[in-house]
Every structure is written in structure tokens, then in C-alpha cells.
């Protein structure tokens, strides 16, 4: 019998099935994969050669500003050298209020120099590392909404004080329509009085961090874009290690090591010894352990599947080739996945550069700010990213928060889908197998439930069920007397209509596959490939027909005399095409 949930499952199934791929044989799918990987290796070989040439021939220099480092070492005062800082004799109520408004001790920030020194906590190897003499110029883009001014100014000064001037094209501040008056005229005045390479872009309405970064990128003139949150402090010699991998490979995007500025006492400290970026299936940002090869030389950049999001460098041309961010992503969230997926899937690479360190203030407890949208924009963002980039893996995300994503409209994603096609980006499966290959081991996905499972009982003769007949892989299945107890089918008769939209044995490895297209086509047991095509099945609950293939005009049929099972043109009047599915997902 069909339970209510089963009915809903089948209904959804109907809704979703127009996303079908045309019927493909297992061999065709394999052949395509071979062609694709051949093309890739040729391009990759050419790229590798180019990279090797550059790495061996180009001149490298010591980019350290040793004078500035020495000057900083002599600085004394509150919070200098990134030490823990405390306020004495002050208005504690006001301190608390400012803390709650910002999520960090803003009053303490006001008492610490905007030019303060930081501790050089880089690996020893970094302190002697040389980088290419010829490096591209960067535009630094700070985006902010209601940032506390002294924190923003310290972010800017840290960049100015610790970067080779001729590598800075400009510093761009993007004001995401802040409410605070302190960020209006007073900010303009401060900039006019203190900086000459800082520009401000003011947005006319609240757009969110994605739109703000795009607005900054649109006016940027540098060959490289560097995006920063508005509450950071760079460490010594942070810029050359971020730029060099991009000079070598224009499709590299590079993240610094993210250190921590404490929200309570403004201490500057390391977060950890480095890790690769990842996510879990609720899209929480997670980390994966470094690989053995990453540990050989701690000063060398290593590959990372996913960026944290807020702090990274990317070649301007590559950024625009990727279409920048999807501007349908609103306010906050998910953009780090979108960009990381497309960097990897569309021919680039994402690196973490341990010798480039930038600290970020992770907010502490604060008063919640009012929702600028009154909608769940975070999950809408996630759904857009999943729909465009994650292929069949999106179901893991949706399965994790059951029911949530069904109610969310991702909006128009046609531009992003076209972009993915135009750039001939690889599949998400490729990403999971080649880049984030250890992710599912550390963060196991939840399998979405089967739509239906149990025996497939012929309604032309209720004593007969579809059975593997123990024939093994690549052989046709047939009919066999049903096991007495339909509620606990024996393993040869226990089928599942899985979320991959295939009919698999409940061992979840072998699927019913129909490669022939003429009359009396055989249904054979084949390894499940999860790609639809010859393994696409659909159970139509009303007519009791088990339909096959993308046109849904071919149906599973029992041949009662020979005990064989075929696929033929659907005919509603034939009892031999009617099946009772043991039970449809109601548990
Ligand atoms: C992290 C990232 C952040 C972003 C976010 C996911 C780091 C260190 N930070 O959250 O960059 O990837 O995850 O979306 O990796 N902002 C606006 N308009 C808004 C909201 C925020 O301009 O409507 C600015 C904000 O002032 C800040 C930046 O966007 O400069 C990031 O926001 P956040 O600091 O609140 O995000 P965070 O660090 O919690
Ligand atoms: Mn932040």
C-alpha cells in the first residue's frame, strides 16, 4: 500500500523527472568520461610545462621590508606586538554597549593604535622565502556594512604599512549602504586627510556582501583582485606569497592563512597549523587535514578544496571569466562555495599560502541586527549554489534538512547554468573525486530515502515477482514465485526505487538496466551508475506501471508463460504491465 509520504514522494518524483538526461548506454557514459579526461590531461600537461618554465627561469628576490619590521619591533603600547589589551578606568556600560553592537570590543579598538605592530608568527621557512621579482599589481577591496571605524582604519593601515607600494594599484572601500553616520562624511574626511590610494564606492541600497564585492571588482583596475572583510590585520610580507601563484598560473586563486584577532582583548594569534577547506552537508564551513605532501615544506602553498570566503586573491581576468559571483546570492552566505566550486570545476585551482598571514576578527556575542530581507536568504543562496553546481550531490544537502529546501525558490539560475556550460566546467563528481576526495569520509552525507522499496509483484499473476534469479551481473532478470512474506522480501526480490531514479537491488549496487530499444527488450542487472539514462525508472502509482527511459513510453512487462521480464511500448490495457510495488516509502 502507498502511504501518504509515499504518495508525496512519487509526486515529487513526477515533478523532478523532466530534468532527465537522454538515454545513454553505460558504455557511452564511460566513453565520454574517457574523452573528457584525455582532453584534460593534454591541457594540464601544457599548463604544467609553462609553470615549470616560469618557476625555474624567473628571478626571485627578498620582498621583506626589513626596516619596517625593525621599526615595528620597537613599538610599545596598548595592544602592540598583537598582545592582549585591557582598558583601565573607563565607562564599563559604554564598553558593553559597544561590544554588543559590534560583536567585538570596539571601545578597546579605539584605544589601540591603528598602526599597531603584530607578532611575526610565520613559519621559519617563510622568513627567508624569496618570490618572483615581477609580480602583478593588486586592487584591495574592503567591503563593509556598519563597520566600527577604528577597526576599518586599522585594516587599511595594515595593508598600507606592510605592502610594497608599487604592488598596490589601489584600495577600494565598498560601503554596503551602512546606517551609521560615522561611516558617511567623517569617513570621507578621514580618507581625504590620511590616504591617497583609497577610494570609496557607496551603494545606494543594501546589497549584501556578494553584491558589494562585485561593485568593488567592477571599478578595480589591478591585474589581481584581493577581497577582504573590513576587520582584518595583515602580517609581515603578506602580499608577495599571495601574488606569486597567480603570476605563475593566472587561474590560481590564493588564500592567506587566517589568523585570529580576539574579539575581547584584540590579541593576535594563530588559528591552527593550517588545514584544507571543506563543508559539511548543511553547508557549515569545515576543514580537512593537510595531506602528507603538504607537510614536506610548510612554506609552500597547498591545494584547498574550499575557501573560507572573506580573504583571498584572484586574477581579475579569471574572476570575470567565471562571471564573478552569482549576483542572485543575497546579503550573506554560500558565495564561498560558489566561487570555490567554479574555480576548481572550470579549470582553475585554489591554494592556501602559509607564508601569507592575515588575521580576522571572528565576532563574539552581539545583539542581533535586524534582518534586511525578512526571508531566509542564506538557504536560498545555498539552493542556488546547489542547483547550479552540485549535480546529483545536491540531494545530500536537501536530504539533510528534510523539507526545508522544498519550500525555497532558488529563483532564476539560467545565467549561471549557461556560464557553466560555456566554460565547459567539469562535473561535481569530478570535484568530489579529485579535489575533495576525503570529504565524505570525514563528513558523511546522508543518503536521501528511497522513493519505494520491496517486491515488484505482477498484477497479472500475483504469485510472481521480479527476481534476480541469482543470474549475476550483466544477465536478464525474470519472474519467480513471490516470497511468502512481502513485508520482508528475500534479497533477490527486494528492489528500491532510489533517489538516483533507478531501480536497484537493496544492496544499492546493482541496477535494472535496459540497453535495447526494440520489442521485448531485456532488463539486465548492471552496476548502478546513478546517471539515469538506461537505468532511469519511474513507478506511476495510479496506473501501476513501471516506466523506463526519458520518454516514459516504455514499460516493464511480465511474460507469464516464459517467466521472463521485458520492456515494451506502454499499454494501459495490458495487465502484464501492472505491478504492485511492495511498499512505497512510508516509513
Ligand atoms: C565568513 C567570511 C565572509 C563570508 C561569509 C559567508 C571569512 C573570514 N569571513 O563570515 O567573508 O564569506 O563567511 O558569506 O572567511 N557585509 C556587507 N553587507 C552585508 C553583510 C556583510 O558588506 O549585508 C560585509 C561585512 O562588513 C564584512 C563582510 O561582508 O566585511 C563579511 O561579513 P561578516 O564579517 O559578517 O562575515 P563572517 O566573517 O562571519
Ligand atoms: Mn568577517
Q: Which residues surround ligand 2, an ion (CB under 5 A)?
A: 229
CA-wise closest residue to 148 among 25, 266, 27: 266
Mean pLDDT of 391-398: 94
Q: Is the CB of 580 inside a 6 Å radius of any atom of ligand 1?
A: no
Distance CA 555, CA 536 (A): 11
**In terms of C-beta density within 10 A (0-12 exposed, 13-18 middle, 19 or more buried), how is residue 370 classed?**
exposed
* pLDDT at residue 178, as a whole number: 97
**CB 444: neighbour CB atoms within 10 A?**
11
Write out the DSSP string of 45-78.
HHHHHHHHHHHHHS-EE----HHHHHHHHT--ST
* pLDDT at residue 585, as a whole number: 54
Ligand nearest to the CA of 339: 1
Q: Is the CB of 335 inside a 6 Å radius of any atom of ligand 1?
A: yes
* pLDDT at residue 19, as a whole number: 36
Mean pLDDT of 468-481: 93
* pLDDT at residue 584, as a whole number: 62
Residue 243 pLDDT greater than 60, yes or no: yes
**Which atom of ligand 1 is nearest to 360's Cα?**
8
Which residue's CA is minimally distant from atom 30 of ligand 1?
Answer: 229
Distance CA 324, CA 213 (A): 9
* pLDDT at residue 486, as a whole number: 62
Q: Which residues contact 346 (CB under 8 A, 6 or more apart)?
A: 321, 322, 420, 423, 424, 425, 426
Tell me the β-bridge partners of 431.
none
User: How much distance in Å is there from the Cα of 426 to the middle of ligand 1?
Assistant: 28
Write out the DSSP string of 312-323.
EEEEHHHHHHTT
Residue 342 pLDDT greater than 50, yes or no: yes
Show the cell assigned to 101.
553592537
Q: Quick one: DSSP state of residue 272? A: -
**Which atom of ligand 1 is nearest to 206's Cα?**
23
Residue 369 pLDDT greater than 90, yes or no: no
**Which atom of ligand 1 is nearest to 227's Cα?**
11
**CB 193: neighbour CB atoms within 10 A?**
7
94-119: burial string, b at 16+ Cβ within 10 Å, e else: eeeebbeebbbbbbbbebbebebbbb
Residue 26 pLDDT greater than 50, yes or no: no
Distance CA 217, CA 328 (A): 16
| Matching residue, cell 573528457 | 36
User: How much distance in Å is there from the Cα of 229 to the middle of ligand 1?
Assistant: 6
Distance CA 587, CA 585 (A): 6
Residue 48 pLDDT greater than 90, yes or no: no
* pLDDT at residue 447, as a whole number: 81
- Strand 478-481, strand 464-467: pairing: antiparallel
**Are residues 454 and 494 in contact, defined by beta-carbon separation less than 8 angstroms?**
yes
* pLDDT at residue 45, as a whole number: 72
User: How much distance in Å is there from the Cα of 332 to the middle of ligand 1?
Assistant: 7
Residue 6 pLDDT greater than 90, yes or no: no
Q: Which residues contact 121 (CB under 8 A, 6 or more apart)?
A: 235, 259, 268, 269, 270, 357
**Ligand 1 pocket test, candidate residues 234, 309, 361, most atoms within 8 A of CB:** 309
Amino acid at each position: 500500500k502507498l502511504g501518504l509520504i509515499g504518495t508525496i514522494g512519487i509526486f515529487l518524483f513526477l515533478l523532478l523527472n523532466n530534468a532527465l538526461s537522454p538515454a545513454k548506454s553505460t558504455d557511452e557514459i564511460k566513453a565520454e568520461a574517457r574523452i573528457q579526461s584525455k582532453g584534460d590531461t593534454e591541457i594540464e600537461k601544457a599548463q604544467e610545462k609553462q609553470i615549470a618554465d616560469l618557476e625555474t627561469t624567473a628571478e626571485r628576490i627578498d620582498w621583506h621590508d626589513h626596516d619596517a619590521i625593525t621599526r615595528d619591533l620597537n613599538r610599545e603600547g596598548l595592544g602592540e606586538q598583537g598582545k592582549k589589551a585591557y582598558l583601565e578606568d573607563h565607562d564599563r556600560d559604554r564598553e558593553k554597549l559597544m561590544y554588543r553592537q559590534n560583536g567585538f570590543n570596539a571601545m578597546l579598538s579605539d584605544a589601540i593604535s591603528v598602526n599597531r605592530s603584530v607578532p611575526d608568527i610565520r613559519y621559519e621557512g617563510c622568513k627567508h622565502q624569496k618570490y618572483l621579482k615581477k609580480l602583478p599589481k593588486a586592487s584591495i577591496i574592503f567591503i563593509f556594512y556598519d563597520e566600527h571605524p577604528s577597526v576599518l582604519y586599522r585594516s587599511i593601515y595594515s595593508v598600507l604599512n606592510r605592502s610594497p607600494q608599487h604592488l598596490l594599484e589601489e584600495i577600494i572601500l565598498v560601503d554596503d549602504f551602512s546606517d551609521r553616520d560615522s561611516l558617511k562624511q567623517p569617513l570621507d574626511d578621514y580618507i581625504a586627510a590620511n590616504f591617497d590610494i583609497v577610494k570609496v564606492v557607496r551603494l545606494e541600497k543594501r546589497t549584501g556582501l556578494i553584491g558589494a564585492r562585485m561593485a568593488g571588482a567592477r571599478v578595480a583596475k589591478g591585474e589581481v583582485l584581493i577581497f577582504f572583510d573590513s576587520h582584518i590585520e595583515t602580517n609581515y610580507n603578506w602580499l608577495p606569497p599571495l601574488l606569486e601563484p597567480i603570476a605563475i598560473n593566472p587561474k590560481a586563486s590564493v588564500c592567506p592563512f587566517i589568523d585570529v584577532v580576539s574579539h575581547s582583548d584584540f590579541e593576535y594569534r594563530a588559528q591552527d597549523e593550517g588545514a584544507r577547506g571543506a563543508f559539511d552537508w548543511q553547508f557549515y564551513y569545515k576543514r580537512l587535514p593537510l595531506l602528507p605532501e603538504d607537510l614536506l615544506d610548510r612554506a609552500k602553498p597547498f591545494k584547498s578544496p574550499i575557501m573560507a570566503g572573506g580573504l583571498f586573491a584572484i586574477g581579475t581576468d579569471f574572476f570575470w571569466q567565471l562571471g564573478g559571483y552569482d549576483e542572485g546570492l543575497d546579503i550573506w552566505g554560500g558565495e564561498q562555495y560558489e566561487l570555490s566550486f567554479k574555480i576548481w570545476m572550470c579549470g582553475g585551482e585554489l591554494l592556501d599560502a602559509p607564508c601569507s598571514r592575515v588575521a580576522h576578527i571572528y565576532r563574539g556575542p552581539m545583539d542581533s541586527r535586524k534582518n534586511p530581507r525578512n526571508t531566509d536568504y542564506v538557504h536560498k543562496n545555498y539552493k542556488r549554489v546547489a542547483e547550479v553546481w552540485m549535480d546529483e550531490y545536491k540531494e545530500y544537502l536537501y536530504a539533510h534538512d528534510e523539507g526545508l529546501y522544498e519550500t525555497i525558490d532558488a529563483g532564476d539560475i539560467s545565467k549561471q547554468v549557461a556560464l557553466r556550460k560555456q566554460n565547459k566546467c567539469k562535473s561535481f563528481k569530478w570535484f568530489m573525486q579529485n579535489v575533495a576526495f576525503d570529504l565524505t569520509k570525514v563528513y558523511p552525507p546522508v543518503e536521501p530515502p528511497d522513493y519505494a522499496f520491496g517486491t515488484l509483484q505482477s498484477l497479472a499473476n500475483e504469485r510472481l515477482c521480479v527476481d534476480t534469479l541469482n543470474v549475476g551481473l550483466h544477465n536478464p532478470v525474470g519472474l519467480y514465485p513471490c516470497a511468502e512474506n512481502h513485508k520482508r522480501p528475500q534479497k533477490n526480490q527486494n528492489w528500491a526505487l532510489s533517489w538516483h531514479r533507478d531501480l536497484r537491488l537493496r544492496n544499492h549496487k546493482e541496477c535494472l538496466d535496459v540497453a535495447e530499444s526494440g520489442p521485448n527488450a531485456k532488463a539486465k542487472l548492471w552496476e548502478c551508475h546513478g546517471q539515469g539514462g538506461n537505468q532511469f525508472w519511474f513507478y506511476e502509482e495510479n496506473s501501476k506501471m513501471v516506466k523506463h527511459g526519458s520518454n516514459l513510453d516504455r514499460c516493464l512487462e511480465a511474460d507469464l508463460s516464459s517467466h521472463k521480464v521485458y520492456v515494451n511500448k506502454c499499454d494501459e490495457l495490458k495487465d502484464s504491465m501492472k505491478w504492485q510495488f511492495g511498499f512505497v516509502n512510508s516509513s
